[in-house]
Amino acid sequence: MPRLFTALEIPRDAALSLSLLRGGLPGARWIDVENYHLTLRFIGDVEGHVADEIANALDRVRRPSFTLTLSGVGAFGSKKPHSIYAGVAPSPDLVALQAEIERICQRLGLPAETRKFVPHVTLARLRNASDGDVALYLSGRGNFSTLPFRVGRFVLMSSRESVGGGPYVVEEAWPLLSADAREEEPHALPQRMLRP
C-alpha cells in the first residue's frame, strides 16, 4: 500500500535553485531533485476506499492560485539535526489551503496532525552529521531565496517505503482557481488523474 500525502510541486526553475544547495555537508543524503515537493498534509497508508473518499472530498476545494517564494534554509531536530530544508516566505494563501485540507482529512476520520504546519522543502536527511558541520552549512546559505513562482494546483502523491524518500508519484491533481476562473466559472472541474 503506498503512503499518501497532499503536496505542492516545485517548478523546474525553483528546483534548479534548490539543487545548488546540495553538497558541502558530511553525513547528508541529498534528496533527488525530481522528488522536491512541499508537503501539505501527510495521510499515510490507507485502504483504497479511504483514498477514494479523500480524493472525492478534495474535489470540492476551491482556493485561488497564489505566488510562493522559497526562502532561507534550516534544520529539523533541536537536539540532533535529522534533516535540512528550504523554508517558505509567509503566505496566507498557502496556510489557508493547508488548513482546509487538514479539516477535510479530520472530517473523514483521519487523526489530527499533531505537528504545527511548517512549510518547507526537504533537501537532505542527516546521518551522523556533526552539529558544527550543520551550523557551518546553514550559516553559509542563510540568504537563500528563489524567484517567486505561481502555484496553480495541489496534488495527491504516493510514495513507496525507501531510504531517503521517493520516488514520488502524482496520483491526482486539483487546479487552483485563477482570477479569471473565479470570476467566470467558480465551479471549474478538477483534473482527475487517479489510476485504477
Q: Which residue has the cell 534548479?
A: 16
Q: Is 187 a catalytic residue?
A: no
What is the total count of domains within the chain? 1
Q: Is 120 a catalytic residue?
A: yes
Round to whole Å and give the CA distance between 7 and 165.
14
Domain presence at residue 190: no
Domain presence at residue 154: yes
For residue 88, give the 3-state DSSP assignment. strand
Domain presence at residue 189: no
Local structure of residue 34 (DSSP, 8 states): G
pLDDT for the residue 178 = 87
Domain presence at residue 120: yes
Outline where 59-165 has alpha helix (H).
92-107, 131-139
Q: What is the CATH number of the domain that holds 83?
A: 3.90.1140.10
pLDDT for the residue 187 = 47
Round to whole Å and give the CA distance between 6 and 2.
13
pLDDT for the residue 93 = 98
Query: Domain containing 152: what range?
Result: 3-184
Closest CA to 64 of 146, 183, 192, 147: 183
Q: How high is the mean pLDDT in each 10-residue block of the chain (196 residues)?
A: 89 97 95 95 92 95 97 92 97 98 96 94 95 94 95 93 72 89 49 49
Give the C-alpha distances (Å, rounded to integers) separating 142 from 19, 75, 92: 15, 11, 23
Domain presence at residue 193: no
Domain presence at residue 101: yes
Domain presence at residue 65: yes
pLDDT for the residue 43 = 95
Domain presence at residue 14: yes
Cell reading at 14: 525553483
